[in-house]
Structures are given as C-alpha cells and as structure tokens.
Amino acid sequence: MSPTLIAALVLGGLVLLICIGFLNQAFERARLERARALAELQARINHCVSISYDMPGQFMSAELKTQLLQIEAALLERLIKLDGRNASHVDQLADARQQLDKGEPRIANAPLVITNEAAAQQAKQQLGDLLRLFEQARRDGLMDGPTFQRWSQLLNQHLLQTTLTLYQAMATAAMQVGKPRVAKLQYERAIAYLNKQPHPDSAGQLAVFRQLLANAEQTALRAELAPDNRSNSELGAGVEALEEDDEAWKKKSVYD
C-alpha cells in the first residue's frame, strides 16, 4: 500500500470522525431544544390552568374563562405536535375544546375579600401573572393586538380598584375602632395614588375619597374636642411645656 493511499485513508478517517462529532452535537442540540420547548410549553399550560382556577371570583368572567381556554388549547396543540405520544395531553386538549364548544363556561371561582395588605398583594400578584400570560400570548400570535389592549386596560382597572379597596377597608376598620386619624391617613394615601393614575374614571373616584377624607377629618376634630380628650390633650400639653422648661433650664445651667 502506497504512502499516498495510507495518507488518504487516514485523512478520510479523520474527516469521518469530525463529521460524526458534528452530527452528534447537532443531534444533542436538537434534543435539548426539544426538551426545553416541551418543558416551557408544559409550564405555560400549567400556569394558564392555575390562573383560570385560582383567579379571585370578582375578577373572573365567562369571557375571561373562554380566553384562557383558548390559550390553553392553542398551547396544547403545539405541545402535541412536539410530543404526540403523551395521551394526557390529548385528553386535556379534548376537555378544553369540549368546554369551548359548550359556549359560556361555568365559573366556580371564590371571591377574595380584600381587608389587609396580604390579600391585596395576593390579588395584585394574580392579576400581574394574568397580564404577563396575555403579553406572551400576544407575542406568540395567540392573541391579536386590539384584544390584548382591551384586556390590558381591564386588568389595570382591576389593579387600581384593588388598591383603592384596600385603602377603603383599612380606613373603615380604623373608623370602627374609633381611630379617625388613621382612617384619614388611608384616605390621603388613596387620593395620592389616584392623582398618579391616568385612568379617565379617576376624577369621580377622587371626588368620593375627598369627601370621605373630609368626613374623617370632621370625626377626628369632634373626637379631639370632646371633654375627656380635651382634658387629656391639655394635660399632655402641660407636661410637654414643663419638660421644655426643664430642658431650657438645664441648657442655661450648662452655658452659665
């Protein structure tokens, strides 16, 4: 065997090994990409279903339920194209389509009573998750621009109302336990929040909270002018004056 032939065989073997290596890398990249796409689709489907069932009842409607079912069905179709051997995906898609075919879906979501910051934060988190889900659906072509804009406006209104409901609940609770100054603070926070909002209906809500603020101020003033409170206030003022005189005397002694 001539040296030239041996060199050609060696070179051919090296080229073959390199090609096999490239093919293996390409196959591994494709496998990882497919696994990533499957995991991402499954996570989005689970997130969509979770939002559909966990969204507080005051925000859920038949139209929203239908929109979520449509997104779920579209994501399941993509998932089945990548992994058609999974029977559970096929069954889930059939169930989603069946609910859509029935027309108006049944809603069993319980409302969330917003009386504290924890409940308000929970509601805001769920509304924010829903808005991000719709943003992703729009980017993926599962929702057109006008539809997304309409939902975005509605969800932002829900977020606004959730914050105002919290301020109102905290103010009402303060008034019930005889703390009008605390209620006044909550109404002031609500007014400051509304002044930052671009919503067209903010003007009407501003008028309502300004009236509530005025009522709280009047209640606080009446409480302060009550005989018992006035005596306590005068006593406190007297003690404070004595403390100020004592402090002034100490300073004078030091400087003298």
pTM above 0.85, yes or no: no
For 210-256, write each residue's pLDDT tens digit.
999 999 999 988 888 876 654 444 444 443 443 444 444 334 333 33
Task: Kindly indicate the confidence band of residue 8, based on its pLDDT and cuts at 50, 70 and 90.
Answer: low
Pairwise CA distance, residues 220 & 223, whole Å: 5
Among 190, 191, 187, 179, residue whose Cα is nearest residue 219: 179
Do the beta carbons of residue 63 and residue 76 sit within 8 Å?
no
